[in-house]
Amino acid sequence: MNLIKKLVSMLSGNKPERQKSGRRPPKSSKARGSGSLVNSNVKKRGKSASQKCSSRPKARKTKNVPPAPPYEELKEKLPEFSKLGLGAEELASVLDMGYIEPTPIQKKSIPRILEGKDAIGTAQTGTGKTAAFSLPIVKMLGKGENLPRVLVLSPTRELASQTAKAFKSFSKYRDLNVLLIQGGVSMDAQVRALKSGVDIVVATPGRLLDHIRQRTVSLRSVKWLVLDEVDRMFDMGFIEDVSNIISRCPKDRQTLFFSATMPDAVMRLSKWALKEDAERLDIGLACSPADTVEHFVYPVDGIQKYDLLLALLEKIGTRSAIVFTRTKIDADRVSEWLVAHGFCVTTMHSDRSQREREKALEDFKKGKASLLVATDIASRGLDISGVAYVVNFNVPEHPEDYVHRIGRTGRANREGKAMTLFSSDESTALGRIESLIGSQIERRKLEGFPYRTEPVILAEPKKKRRRRNM
């Protein structure tokens, strides 16, 4: 049973228990007793760690921030953005980022978030979602204080780091401190920063819980809680940690909930975490690849995948490509194989240290390596521009991951190509992807490649087609 299914069945094990606030906790596993998963954790420790937190920082230093240009001047340069209710400081940062017009999710979300309402949003990758939630939050935050007032939870260190960077850019003209709390690096610097006063914390769940347990962070002043890529957090088994963290934030807060897909378990968590009048901000579920990506399936005997990969990459030449594998072992093996054949490769998977992961990404972004071999850790959210090709060494197990993987190319309206190496034992996984995207992916054959058995180019007609636009 995959992890999502396990979690879904775990979460539907018990009767839900209503909190006094009207927020409903997710249903917990029977093994943990009849109380809610969240409450049982809190009860064990008596008062929540945030209540006991002894790390109240002393008065903090004022930061020197550049003055924003006059509002009228910005309004002229950014007429569409200025209609959304943002202040001069935010518009100035938007101008610095080189944005001209808001993306659809920004148009829809920014005014509603500024109204103070909880929101639940689905958006395809690369839609400008980060600015959609960070710009209005920065506007509402006002003057810097000591304890964190914004908490953003992200599933991976890379996404957290990207989001923290975005918050820093959007708060350039305000006296606000942003802190990235992620694992894989020493806690000391994070503790020092927390003590000197932080407004916005962007964190991965595990390391944030370490700080909560050690009472080096207090969430009692959190007024804005953003849960990003929630379905991914479920996939990665973070649900208990995330529920635990949510339960430690004040109930009187604005919660923004983003997920590429909305399976039942994610919906259940959203019902608990968000107020009943939460706004839906759907900008298209991640069930279709961007129009700018051409994608093909290359059928091949499993034993010839390494050779076909080489042949395809040789055809691509030196242009940048990401090669996705299903497992960490495959990622290492494929990297070794490519290095042995003269390719310049960096590798990213969760068994590599944070430093190694950052360096791999940096080398790839700077063009020091033309190939990035990665597991799905790199398939979501990462904003790497100029990726011309995505090659799936294996068909991904979860169909949504296919859309995310191929979404690494064809970003910002550039054209991209995605190629999936497919062996007959992966038929079920490929079928699930085609059901999700509602169409059959074109089969291709690489001319001149010495196939052991002639590939089947025409897929069998589907018995059952998904009904669309219901």
Residues that bind ligand AMP (CB under 6 A): 99, 101-103, 106, 126-131, 383
The secondary structure of 247-284 as a DSSP string is: HTS-SSSEEEEE-SS--HHHHHHHHHHS-TTPEE--B-
CB 376 within 8 A of CB 404: yes
CB 231 within 8 A of CB 259: yes
**Neighbouring-strand partners of residue 153:** 203, 227
Which CB atom, from 299 or from 416, has the smaller least distance to ligand AMP?
416
Residue 124: CA count within 13 A, CB half-sphere: 21
Which CB atom, from 129 or from 174, has the smaller least distance to ligand AMP?
129
Which CB atom, from 130 or from 243, has the smaller least distance to ligand AMP?
130
The least distance separating ligand AMP from the CB of residue 460, rounded to whole angstroms, comes to: 37
The least distance separating ligand AMP from the CB of residue 134, rounded to whole angstroms, comes to: 9
CA distance 394 to 330: 9
Which CB atom, from 248 or from 380, has the smaller least distance to ligand AMP?
380
CA distance 201 to 228: 13
What is the DSSP code (8-state) at residue 212? H
The least distance separating ligand AMP from the CB of residue 379, rounded to whole angstroms, comes to: 13
How many CB atoms lie under 10 A from the CB of residue 369?
18
Return the beta strands (E) in 305-344 as ranges: 321-324
Chain center to CA of 164: 13
Q: Where are the alpha helices (DSSP H) in 59-204?
A: 71-77, 79-82, 88-97, 104-114, 129-141, 157-170, 188-195
Which CB atom, from 4 or from 406, has the smaller least distance to ligand AMP?
406
Which CB atom, from 129 or from 248, has the smaller least distance to ligand AMP?
129
The least distance separating ligand AMP from the CB of residue 262, rounded to whole angstroms, comes to: 18
Which CB atom, from 120 or from 239, has the smaller least distance to ligand AMP?
120
The least distance separating ligand AMP from the CB of residue 445, rounded to whole angstroms, comes to: 34
The least distance separating ligand AMP from the CB of residue 90, rounded to whole angstroms, comes to: 12
Which CB atom, from 127 or from 146, has the smaller least distance to ligand AMP?
127
Q: Which residues of 106-136 are buried (b: 16+ CB within 10 A; e: fewer)?
A: bbbbbebbbeebbbbbbbbbbbbbbbbbbbb
The least distance separating ligand AMP from the CB of residue 127, rounded to whole angstroms, comes to: 5
Which CB atom, from 260 or from 308, has the smaller least distance to ligand AMP?
260
CA distance 253 to 148: 13
The least distance separating ligand AMP from the CB of residue 322, rounded to whole angstroms, comes to: 16
Give residues with Cβ within 8 angstroms of 31, minimum separation 6: none
- Please give the residue whose beta carbon sits closest to ligand AMP in the complex: 128
In order of 180, 245, 368, 418, the CA distances from 360 in angstroms are: 19, 30, 10, 21
Residue 261: CA count within 13 A, CB half-sphere: 22
The least distance separating ligand AMP from the CB of residue 78, rounded to whole angstroms, comes to: 10
